């Protein structure tokens, strides 16, 4: 990781730094009635596809 890039809270990334990409339903959904429900009942199936694309350099 390029240590000249500002990380969380503006601090620099250090050696062996990384990131975590977690998929989820609407964050904090129980506290927002206009959000879809995040409750998964027994027997219900939840499927989700996440696609991440990474590139080196500036986007053109």
Q: Token pair 């053109």 is at which residue? A: 60
The predicted structure's pLDDT at residue 41:
94
| Cα 36 versus chain centre, distance | 18
Q: What is the pTM of this model?
A: 0.40
The predicted structure's pLDDT at residue 3:
58
Query: For residue 40, with 0-12 CB atoms within 10 Å meaning exposed, 13-18 middle and 19 or more buried, which class applies?
Result: exposed
The predicted structure's pLDDT at residue 9:
80
Q: Which residues of the chain have pLDDT under 50?
A: none
Q: Token pair 């500002």 is at which residue? A: 6
How far apart are the C-alpha atoms of 19 and 16, rounded to whole Å?
10
Q: How many domains does the chain have?
A: 1
How far apart are the C-alpha atoms of 25 and 35, rounded to whole Å?
10
The predicted structure's pLDDT at residue 54:
80
Give the domain extent around 11: 1-60
């Amino acid at each position: 990781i390029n240590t000249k890039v500002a990380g969380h809270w503006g601090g620099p990334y250090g050696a062996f730094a990384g990131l975590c990409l977690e998929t989820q339903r609407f964050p904090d959904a129980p506290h927002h009635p206009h959000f879809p429900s995040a409750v998964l009942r027994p027997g219900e199936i939840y499927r989700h596809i996440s696609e991440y694309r990474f590139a080196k350099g500036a986007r053109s």
